[in-house]
Amino acid sequence: MILILKQDAKTEAIDKLSNQLQEMGFIVQEIKGEHTHMLGLAGDTSHIDRDQFGRIDIVDSIMKVSEPYKLVGRKFHPEDTVIEIGGQKIGGGNFAVMAGPCSVESEEQLLSIARDVKASGANFIRGGAFKPRTSPYAFQGLGLDGLELLKMARQKTGLPIISELMNNDYLEEFERDVDIIQIGARNMQNFSLLREVGQLKKPVLLKRGLANTIEELLMAAEYLMAGGARDVMLCERGIRTFETATRNTLDLSAVPVLHQKTHLPVIVDPSHGTGYWHLVEPMALAAVAAGADGLIIEVHNAPECALCDGPQSLTPEVFHQLMKKIGKIREVIA
């Protein structure tokens, strides 16, 4: 909601109103143009009676903004957000690749993959320490030991790390040890987790839920930003459809749609988006052509033995070739 203020509204009265609105739980952003002065309200305005605000004497008129998200929307923040992590930039024309195994399995496995993906030009190492598996009997990840191995991989390669946080139990460890906190597809609408993670004010990669709309993804990002996060990246990782030829249906149109609606960087995950390693390259290249700000790709040194997501994991050699092609597509679209 936007309150358009009267031309002669006094600063003291505006500050008083702004404080009252903040006490009511809104995030208030003042917008001052040459001829207009407005207060933008972020928060749930659905219960607000417009006429009530109309009675405030410094308010000239009220506009309901159609989108329910304010902090993630382009309306109040037209320029692209550029996120900088450990010397790597993402967004606003800066492109980054996050690569590594689905799960951290051992020191030997992770370090070997980390060295290979770095040599191929990856900017971040990905690796799950806590894994959200469909079956309770499947490998659940190494937990905190996995985080230690990721830290070791960061130290050896200099690449920042990204890993999934599944619940509120390890907020402290993730805040301290991880460069980008990944919120997985299954947790996209875990609102209490989003609020807590937002408060850490750390970079977050928010994955689109298995059956969530783009607007729901944006609202989930709004939770993170309302909590305090600023460096939020959105990730298209495929959605559930009737199609069974692929693990998920990668919705690449989400990339330009999101760019239109939000200033946040958009990352594409062609690994979970397709489920098969031979589909990763074409969809990764298509994502780059569609304007993605980055890719997150699963790479394994022995995909046939991987404890998680082997069928969709690239070997380091295939990843290396893909990175060269990504560079070429980026040159063409630049």
Strand partners, 124: 98
Footprint on residues 94-133 left by ligand PEP (CB under 6 A):
102, 128, 132
Residue 184 per-residue DSSP state: P
Verify binding: residue 300, ligand PEP, rule CB under 6 A. no
Query: Contact letters (x/-) for Mn ion, 133-162, by CB under 5 A?
Result: ------------------------------
Nearest distance in Å: CB 182, Mn ion: 11
Dihedral of the CA atoms 255, 257, 261, 266 (nearest 10)? -10
- Which of Mn ion, ligand PEP, none is residue 185 near (CB under 5 to 8 Å by kind)? ligand PEP
Query: Can you read off the two tokens belonging to residue 220?
Result: 């989930």
d(CA 226, CA 199): 9
Q: How far, in Å, CA of 308 to CA of 330, rounded?
A: 31
Tell me if 17 sits within 8 A of 56, measured CB to CB.
Answer: yes
Q: Quick check: 184 binds ligand PEP (CB under 6 A)?
A: yes
Among 102, 200, 233, 296, binds Mn ion (CB under 5 A): 102
- Dihedral of CA atoms 278, 280, 281, 284 in degrees, nearest 10, equals 170
Residue list 146-175, contact with ligand PEP (CB under 6 A): none
Nearest to 4 by CA among 27, 26, 23, 30: 30
Least Å distance between CB 307 and ligand PEP? Answer: 12
With beta carbons less than 8 A apart as the criterion, state whether 177 and 162 touch.
Answer: no
Closer residue to ligand PEP (CB): 70 or 272: 272
299 binds Mn ion (CB under 5 A): no
C-alpha distances in angstroms, 195 versus 122, 168, 224, 226? 30, 10, 6, 8
Residue 185 is a binding residue for ligand PEP (CB under 6 A): yes
Stretch binding Mn ion (CB under 5 A), from 102-110, 209-217, 258-266, 281-289: 102-110
Residue 309 binding Mn ion, by CB under 5 A: yes
Least distance in Å: CB of 272 to ligand PEP? 4
Whether 291 and 256 have beta carbons less than 8 Å apart is answered as yes
N- to C-terminal Cα distance for the chain?
Answer: 37
Of 88 and 312, the one with the shorter C-beta distance to ligand PEP is 312
| 258 lines the binding site for Mn ion (CB under 5 A) | no
**Helical segments of the chain, H only:** 11-23, 50-54, 107-119, 144-157, 171-177, 191-200, 214-227, 254-261, 270-274, 277-289, 316-333
Per-residue binding string, ligand PEP, 4-43, x by CB under 6 A, is ----------------------------------------
* Residue number, 132 or 310, with CB nearest to ligand PEP: 132
Judged by CB under 6 A, the number of residues near ligand PEP is 9
Q: Work out what residue 237 binds among ligand PEP, Mn ion, none; the CB cut-off runs from 5 to 8 Å by kind.
A: ligand PEP
Residue 299, contacted partner among ligand PEP, Mn ion, none, CB below 5-8 A by kind: none
Binding part of the chain for ligand PEP, among 45-53, 114-122, 182-190, 216-224 by CB under 6 A, reads 182-190
Q: CB 133 → ligand PEP: shortest distance, Å?
A: 9
Residue ranges in 253-272 that form contacts with ligand PEP under rule CB under 6 A: 272
CB 107, CB 148: distance < 8 Å: no
Q: Tell me how far apart the alpha carbons of residues 149 and 151 are, in angstroms, rounded to a whole number.
A: 5
Question: Which residues of the shown chain bind ligand PEP in the complex (CB under 6 A)?
Answer: 102, 128, 132, 184-186, 207, 237, 272
